[in-house]
Copies of this chain bind each other. A is one copy, B any other.
Amino acid sequence: MIKMSTKGRYGTRLMLQLAHHYGDKGQAVILRSVAENETISIRYLEQIIIPLKVSKLVKSIRGAGGGYSLARPPDQIKISEILHTLEGSCCLVECIEDEDFCPRKPYCATFEIWNKATQLLKGYFDNLTLQDVVEIDRKKKKAKPK
């Protein structure tokens, strides 16, 4: 299975929750509510949000009334940024990003096909913003209100 790690998936859902509350002035979202909405352990979300904070995709406010919020408007956050932060990259194989990872590159045909597949994915996630996903979400909920 060419699978996304849970970090990438959970992290995107986390960001989507924050995106939904973006603009609700002063209202940061607390991890516990995300954890409940998405049925993901708080502890695990805490680990996931650290890199998102480091890479300046989210801001944190400590203490009572605190929580997390997006650092930028959702239409200025690409899905590829989230994945790059949480998964290290969007590459299917290390060889693509890391020059020294694999000495086989110059004569490895499979490199070509993983590379091309990676470009497909990258292209898709580079042109998809959190705002796009928010809209998909709203549309989906509208179609199935109950």
Residues on A lying within 8 angstroms of B by beta carbon are 1-5, 8-9, 12-13, 16, 79, 83, 87-94, 106-110, 112-114, 116-117, 120-121, 124-125, 128, 133-134, 136-137, 140-141, 144
Closest to A121 in B: B117
Q: How far is the CA of A108 from the CA of B10 in the complex (A)?
A: 12
A1-B89, A109-B133 known, 18 other contacts, Cβ within 8 Å: A1-B87, A1-B94, A2-B2, A2-B8, A2-B87, A2-B91, A3-B87, A3-B93, A3-B94, A4-B114, A9-B114, A12-B110, A13-B108, A16-B109, A107-B144, A109-B137, A117-B121, A117-B124
Closest to A117 in B: B124
Q: Interface majority SS on A: helix, strand, loop or mixed?
A: helix
A108 contact set on B, CB distance < 8 A = 13, 140
Q: How far is the CA of A113 from the CA of B133 in the complex (A)?
A: 8
Q: How far is the CA of A16 from the CA of B79 in the complex (A)?
A: 34
Q: How far is the CA of A138 from the CA of B90 in the complex (A)?
A: 28
A40 CB, min distance to chain B CBs, angstroms: 11
Name 26 interchain pairs, CB-CB below 8 A, sorted by A: A1-B5, A1-B87, A2-B2, A2-B3, A2-B5, A2-B83, A2-B87, A2-B121, A3-B92, A3-B93, A4-B114, A9-B93, A12-B113, A13-B108, A79-B113, A106-B144, A108-B140, A109-B133, A109-B134, A109-B136, A109-B137, A109-B140, A112-B136, A113-B128, A117-B125, A121-B121
